[in-house]
Amino acid sequence: MTSSTLVGDLAFGLGGIHAWAMATAAVIAASCALVGTLLVVRRMSLVGDAISHAVLPGIAVAVLAGGRPGGPLVFLGAVAAAMLTVWLTQGLRAAGGLTEDAGAGVVFTTLFAIGVVLVGLAPPGTHLDAACVLYGELAFLPFDTISIAGQPVPRAFVAGATVLAGLVAAAVATWKLQVFTAFDPAGARMAGIPVAAVTTGLLAATAVATVASFDAVGAVLVVAMLVAPAAAAELLTRRLHRMVVVAMALGAVAACVGYLAAWRLHTSAAGMIAVVLGLEYAAAAALTPDDGLAARLIGRVRLAWRVAREDRLATVWRAEEAGNRAAARPQTPHEAVVVRWLEFTGHLLRDGSSWRLSPAGRREAENVVRSHRLWEAWLGRHADLPLDHLHPPAEWVEHHLGAEMRERLEADMDERAADPHGREIPPEA
């Protein structure tokens, strides 16, 4: 796609039904990300899955009883069904000794199945359709509008925005309680926090967010909107209040990008949104600041390069010590590259067909050799190792001992300035 057609799409989208569809998807995704974050940090992602499926019979019953999709009665039915799931799961565990995950697995699939059956029984003309319930249909939503201040506004957007506002308000008001309960339920109980009510509130909020999402993305993919943005945000920040904001933003962005991509490719918007959420997670896993794939890769390459440099400098230093400079000639192409680099940075000086250390190179080399021999000396003293086993560990540790550690190791020795092989340990450079 060329950039001009993309701009054209955007302009068209922003002007019309696409803007409403995207806005609807975005508020829904943000609602799901908000409750999803608390579920994820409480390790309750499976509960989100269970609730998103189990609300179906509640919705079906509410609609069959005359409720309108997206209306208050439907929300009520959904919350009731969600609570029923949780209570039944706990009941099964208490009565039948089923583990929590197996119990939830039995309960929510059964309820979901009942819901599917009820939807099938719905008379034609009711606002219930199995395909819509399972997969949602974002593109249809903007056509069902209500009038606000004379402007037609999609009903689904109004419902979604109301839910989002309500959930944000509830989260702000009870944030402290949610965080304490999530982190340490026993401690929270001791502090007088109504832990059971806080948890029930979170589950009810999950049910509400799920129902608000049903028309747009359906029962199956709402799990992605609950879990994926929170999981990605958890990789990007280590503070819960930031994590919520990041998750909501990731959800909203994925909703818009996914919708546009689906429209271009003529495919399912809900599916595309979930795919984009997955891509966001993959990107977060790669880019997470501390221990992401990219950070780890960069760290490993850096370390390898430092080890190669230091080994080369130490080799030249030892060759000079032995009075045999020729021994320091690079043996492999890789070593040759390192030597060229050290020459370029002024650590090695060319001397005919061999190299010698510059003052800067000597300082660095001496500290590496010093680390190596100090470690051999320390190991020889404190570990039961034969003399010829001291070199390999020192070869590794020499790159990791800082000046402070070297000082401590030296203080531990009694005035001997030689390593176990009798070679001199150079002073700190």
> Which residues form the interface with other proteins (CB under 8 A)?
41, 43, 173-174, 176-177, 179-180, 182-184, 186-194, 234, 237-240, 243
CB of 193 to other proteins, least distance (A): 7
CB of 191 to other proteins, least distance (A): 4
- CA–CA gap between residue 363 and residue 353 (Å, rounded): 23
Question: Closest CB to other proteins among 242 and 340?
Answer: 242
What is the token pair recorded at 212? 């608000």
Question: Closest CB to other proteins among 234 and 410?
Answer: 234
Question: Closest CB to other proteins among 289 and 359?
Answer: 289
What is the DSSP annotation of 221-255?
Answer: HHHHHHHHHHHHHHHH-SSHHHHHHHHHHHHHHHH
CB of 405 to other proteins, least distance (A): 18
- Cα distances (Å, whole numbers) of residue 134 to 209, 220, 246: 16, 6, 28
CB of 239 to other proteins, least distance (A): 6
Question: Closest CB to other proteins among 173 and 265?
Answer: 173
What is the token pair recorded at 357? 């250390």
Question: Closest CB to other proteins among 25 and 243?
Answer: 243
The candidate with the shortest Cα–Cα distance to 36, out of 252, 180, 257, 193, is: 252
87 Cβ contact partners less than 8 Å away, ≥ 6 residues apart: none
Question: Closest CB to other proteins among 140 and 180?
Answer: 180
- CA–CA gap between residue 89 and residue 272 (Å, rounded): 32
- CA–CA gap between residue 132 and residue 278 (Å, rounded): 22
Question: Closest CB to other proteins among 194 and 402?
Answer: 194
CB of 93 to other proteins, least distance (A): 12
What is the token pair recorded at 115? 């819901």
CB of 292 to other proteins, least distance (A): 15
Question: Closest CB to other proteins among 191 and 322?
Answer: 191
Polymer length of the chain: 429
CB of 306 to other proteins, least distance (A): 24
| DSSP code, position 151 | E
CB of 198 to other proteins, least distance (A): 9
CB 379 within 8 A of CB 373: no
- Provide the Cα torsion 254, 257, 262, 265; round to 10°: -140
- CA–CA gap between residue 410 and residue 23 (Å, rounded): 66
- CA–CA gap between residue 38 and residue 123 (Å, rounded): 38
